[in-house]
Chain A
Amino acid sequence: MTDPVREDDLHAYVDSALPEARRLDVEAWLAAHPEDAARVQTWTGQNQALHAAFDGVLNEPLPIDLVRAARRRPVRAPWRAMAATLALAASGLIGYGIGLSEDQPLPVPLHFARDAAIAHAVFSPEARHPVEVDAAHAAHLVSWLSKRVGTQLKAPEFGALGFELLGGRLLAGESGPVAQFMYQDAGGRRVTLYVRRAVTGNRETAFRHVTENGVEVFYWIDRDFGYALSGQIAHPDMQKLADAAYRQLMGG
């Protein structure tokens, strides 16, 4: 005997907050109660409309005042702590989609890897709207991002490693638009591939690895474009994915 479906259950259904068994109860209830089904549909539409209206803010270049405020350290800190935090700030995450060169300028490739790590940290936790265009429209996605970034992009295949393309989005970067492809495995783990035009005068880099605030980033720069694969998953798995990406993107 199941509990009767209450108003709270309907909301929790909309917000994907129900255990599977209860979710099925609610679905059965909705099939038999069209008025409740209509309300649930409207509420789901409200969530989607909120994302449609405000997700654009995530892609805006960050105002420099805010970036400075985020990296300012309390002035009352003792001098040694200050020195330590300054060193941390200098190696800290700089600029999300903006050309910020306060403190010491970072070597460009490292700066690039940091931006990729931040973009990963910002978008990969999004449960419902991690991507702008989903993988069901993969061909459209790739041609759209290719056009905006200015080169023929390719979304690598990670199926053999258990990761499927979830979709992608366009971000604003200091040297123009940035494409981000997102992949997910059956366990819900996500990796993102970040591609953008490299800053001019940039040298090519070999395949490199860095860890940024717990995000593993494998990156390389090839002539005009930089590529970075980011994920918060075990290093050996990331290494395999990164090898596959490098092979597929550079191999042919």
Chain B
Amino acid sequence: MRLNPKPDLIEHLPRLRRYARALTGDVVRADDLVQDTLERALARLDLWQPGSDLRAWLFTLMHNLFVNQLRTRRPQDTALDEAMDIPVSGGQMEALAARDMHAALVRLPDEQREVILLVGLEQFSYAEAAQVLGVPVGTIMSRLARARERMRHMLAGAPAVQLKVVK
């Protein structure tokens, strides 16, 4: 008989939404992903060990759902189009920078985008990010390095995508 009270998931909602928004680049898709994550979390709450990091566990569930979605979805160029359509009122540098960031993120490979967001935005340690994504820390480091360099070229205006050598 479990006497532990079930943890409340509400306090994790704002951060799950922030990550999902950045990951998918789309408000509706992001909240759908959060909703699926919550449903799965509640269905499996008995598997979560009280005392362990609930936040990392929730992000792990979200990662698994996200990967499953990618497998079943067609190649998505919709998110890119939407990212490019974010309205920018004239002269607002912040909005412009945010739009650049959205567009750059969407162009990153999914596995690199996850790492740069978990580490750079959500402030997970490398070990925690490795746990969330189910890969070794070394893989986190190499993906992070690639993501940051790729983004550096994109945000500097260099056509990183076209630099790929195509024979």
Residues in chain A within 8 A of chain B (CB atoms): 7-8, 11-12, 15, 17, 39, 42-43, 46-47, 49-55, 57-60, 62-63, 65-67, 69-74, 85, 88, 92-94, 96, 118, 121-122, 126-128, 213
Contacts and interface: CB of A to CB of B under 8 A. Distances in A.
A164 B38 CA distance: 37
Given A54-B18, A213-B8, A17 B126 contact: yes
A23 to B, nearest CB: 15
15 contacts: A8-B145, A11-B141, A11-B144, A15-B119, A17-B125, A49-B98, A49-B155, A50-B117, A54-B21, A62-B14, A66-B13, A66-B38, A93-B10, A94-B10, A127-B123
B14 A70 contact: no
Contact of B123 (A54, A93, A126): A126
Contacts of B9: 70-71
Q: Which of A42, A66, A94, A126 has most B Cβ within 10 Å?
A: A66
Nearest to A123: B14
Given A70-B10, A74-B42, A74-B43, A53 B102 contact: yes
Interface in B6-30: 6, 8-11, 13-15, 17-18, 21-22
Contacts, number: 121
B45 interface: yes
A50 B141 contact: no
Nearest to B30: A57
A98 B80 CA distance: 31
Given A74-B43, A126-B123, A46 B151 contact: yes
B97 interface: yes
A20 B126 CA distance: 17
B135 to A, nearest CB: 15
Nearest to A117: B11
Contact of A67 (B10, B116, B148): B10
Given A62-B13, A70-B9, A93-B10, A46 B116 contact: yes
B141 A8 contact: yes
A118 B11 contact: yes
Contact of A60 (B17, B42, B126): B17
Interface residues of B, number: 41
Contacts of B5: 88
Contacts of B22: 50, 53-54
Interface of B: 5-6, 8-11, 13-15, 17-18, 21-22, 31, 34-35, 38-39, 42-43, 45, 94, 97-98, 101-102, 116-117, 119-121, 123, 125-126, 141, 144-145, 148, 151-152, 155
A118 B13 CA distance: 10
Contacts of B116: 46, 50
A-B complex: 6 closest residue pairs judged by Cβ atoms: A53-B98, A70-B9, A57-B18, A47-B120, A69-B38, A53-B101
A66 B97 contact: no
Contacts of B144: 11
Find the residue from B97, B120, B126, B152 having the highest chain A CB count within 10 A: B120
Contacts of A67: 10, 13
Contacts of A118: 10-11
Contacts of A57: 14, 17-18, 21
Given A58-B14, A121-B11, A50 B121 contact: yes
Contacts of A42: 148, 152
Contacts of A17: 125-126
Contacts of B148: 11, 42-43, 46
A62 B10 CA distance: 9
A46 B120 contact: yes
A115 to B, nearest CB: 11
A71 B35 CA distance: 11
